[in-house]
Structure 1
Amino acid sequence: MKSMLMSKGAKQVVEVCANIKENESVVIITEPKTMSIAESIASAVTAVGAEPTISIIMPRTSDSSEPPATVAAAMKESDVFISAVFTSITHTYAVKNAVENGSRGIMLTQFEDHMLIDSGVLADFPKAAPTCEAVGRALENAKEIHLTTTHGTDLKMSATGRKSNSMTGMVKSGQFAPVPTIEANVSPLEGSANGKIVANASIPYIGIGILKEQVVCTVEDGMITNIEGGFEAHILADNLASKNDPNVYNIAEIGVGLNPRCKFNGLMLEDEGVFGSVHIGIGSSITLGGTVKAACHYDLIMTETTLVADGVTIIENGNVLL
């Protein structure tokens, strides 16, 4: 019975988000924990007359770890790749190389069965796209981006010369998109971010999820230099320190959630898409337009945001104005 209910979301992913057509080759990357998602997607791929191949990989040791070379090669040669894994492979050279070769990708990271039944996956993606694209235009090449929140965030950065990413949840050749989040983001210039991040909503990684206490990060010259807070802040600080990689502290992304159907549930791509939320990505930025490859990529999500780019107010106290 559950598989029948999941078919609606799978159909949306395959036909609307990935726009898969007859005779296309589709590589579905999964791990044992998310096999039911992969099977549901494969059924929907078959239904449109395309050919799915499921590649089961060992769970990665950490987010942003590369998939096996054979899987990366298959992604690069596919018409479409769909990543249905729990531990993210989004911010990897495998994804970067695949889209640069013309493939199009959908990332279903941290998916659970219920998300194909009732979640942001069932959003009206075409209707949401114009707002996403407008926010993307405002972020692109912005000389100064200023983010504040009622919880204490006060962060400035520059995206001069940087292209933005309007991730509408629908992809064309040479693009990838996380789903169900609908988001516009940009990777700021390395070294340009300064101020304070106060994550009050979610850090949907390493067992943290929806925050019980605020996590406060000091940012100097594009890098997090201090992390304060309670138990969850210690989890984040200890995890980053364990990577033995200074690049994990890099301010890699500022992203705006724009999916009206997303709700906070502690899972990555649902939380990041909550309408009017803002997330600061840290670590790897190579798939977003930056230059940094780190041992991980995590997102710190906040609400009640105000976001201004070169004098244009994009969000005011959580209300998207564009």
Structure 2
Amino acid sequence: MENIYMSRGASKVVNVCAKIKPGEQVLIVTELSRLSIAQALATEVYRVGAEPAICIMEPRKQDSEEPPKEIAAAMKASDAFLSVVGKSITHTHAVKDAIAAGSRGLVLTHFTEEMMIHGGIEGDFEEAKRVCTAMAEGMAGAEKIVLTSPGGTHLEYSAKGRRGNKLYCMVEPGQFSTLPTVEANVSPLEGTANGVIVADGSIPYIGIGVLEEPVTLKVENGRIVDISGGYQAKMLADNLASKNDPNVYNVAEHGVGLNPRCHFCGFMLEDEGVFGSCHIGIGTSITLGGTVKASCHYDVIMKNGTIVADGKVLMENGVPKV
């Protein structure tokens, strides 16, 4: 029965978000656990006159692990690709190279059948485009950005020379977007972030999900140097330590959630889109404008952020001012 109800979401992904045209070659990268979603998307791709190809890969062992080289090559050769996976391949060379080659991509990481029917996918992406674009432009290239939150976050960094990324779930050739999160983000200049991050919303990775108590991360010279809190903080700290990769502590991203239909539920691309939230990505930054490739990319999310860029208030207590 869910396959029937997913048809409306599949139509939105294919026609509104990816703008698939007749005759295009569309690659759908998936895993067996999400085959029903991939099939719903492929059905709609075929209906509009394009040619779908479904590639089923073994689930990656961790987020940001590269897909098989054959799939990476197919992504690069496609007109458009849809990634419907459990472990994220968003922050990989495969995605970066496919976009550089002129493909366009949508990332549906951690998607469930329910997410194809209700929640953030019901958002008005055309309406969200304006504020998302303005937020990204406000953050881009700022000499000094200050992020604070009622929960205790106070982080300062420079985005000098960095582009602002606007992800509003609709793509043109040479672009990718996550879905259904609507977000603006920027990658802090390496080594410039200092302060304290207090996540009180969600850490939608490695089974942590919606936070039961705050997780506090101390930042010095662009790197996480201490993680404290309850058992969920320990889960994050232990997982990062197990990577044996110093780059996993890199402050890679400052993102802003801008989809009013998203809600905290423990799934990454719903949680990151919650309107008025902010997230700090740690680890890989190469797909965002940074220079670091790590063995993972995790986001820690806080509620009701305030953002000041070069003295201009972009968001105040979760309310955009752009």
- Which TM class, normalised by the smaller chain length? over 0.9
- Give a deviation string over 1:170-213, Cα, whole Å, max 9, x none: 10111000000010000010001000000000000000000001
Amino acid in the other structure paired with 1:20: I
Equivalences, count: 322
Distance 2:77 2:231 in 1: 44
Helix, strand or coil: the match of 2:292? coil
Distance 2:141 2:212 in 1: 35
Using the TM superposition, give the Cα deviation of residue 318 of structure 1 relative to its aligned residue in structure 2, in angstroms.
1.3
Using the TM superposition, give the Cα deviation of residue 2 of structure 1 relative to its aligned residue in structure 2, in angstroms.
1.4
Q: In the alignment, which residue of structure 2 is the partner of 1:273?
A: 273
Q: In the alignment, which residue of structure 2 is the partner of 1:262?
A: 262
- Give a deviation string over 1:122-158, Cα, whole Å, max 9, x none: 2111111000000011000011110001111000010
Using the TM superposition, give the Cα deviation of residue 304 of structure 1 relative to its aligned residue in structure 2, in angstroms.
2.0
Q: In the alignment, which residue of structure 1 is the partner of 2:92?
A: 92
Distance 2:249 2:179 in 1: 25
Does 1:249 find its partner at 2:249? yes
Helix, strand or coil: the match of 1:165? strand
**Which region of structure 1 is more displaced relative to structure 2, 305-314 or 93-102?**
305-314
Distance 1:44 1:120 in 2: 20
Helix, strand or coil: the match of 1:197? strand
Q: In the alignment, which residue of structure 1 is the partner of 2:102?
A: 102
Amino acid in the other structure paired with 1:9: G
Distance 2:12 2:122 in 1: 7
Distance 1:35 1:173 in 2: 26
Could you state the TM-score of these two structures normalised by the residue count of structure 2? 0.99
Structure 1, unmatched stretches of 5+, are none
Distance 2:17 2:304 in 1: 29
Using the TM superposition, give the Cα deviation of residue 159 of structure 1 relative to its aligned residue in structure 2, in angstroms.
0.4
- Give a deviation string over 1:64-121, Cα, whole Å, max 9, x none: 0000000000000000010000110000000000000000000000000001111111
Could you state the TM-score of these two structures normalised by the residue count of structure 1? 0.99
Q: In the alignment, which residue of structure 2 is the partner of 1:43?
A: 43
Structure 2, unmatched stretches of 5+, are none
Distance 2:267 2:4 in 1: 23
Pairs within 5 Å for 1:1-322: 1-322=1-322
Amino acid in the other structure paired with 1:260: P
Distance 1:14 1:145 in 2: 36
Distance 1:145 1:11 in 2: 39
- Give a deviation string over 1:214-248, Cα, whole Å, max 9, x none: 10000000000000000000000000000000000
Distance 1:318 1:165 in 2: 19
Helix, strand or coil: the match of 1:106? strand
Amino acid in the other structure paired with 1:303: K
Distance 1:70 1:257 in 2: 34
Root mean square deviation of aligned Cα: 0.6
Distance 1:34 1:86 in 2: 8
Amino acid in the other structure paired with 2:13: V
Distance 1:132 1:76 in 2: 27
Percent identity of the aligned residues? 59
Using the TM superposition, give the Cα deviation of residue 32 of structure 1 relative to its aligned residue in structure 2, in angstroms.
1.2
Distance 1:123 1:14 in 2: 15
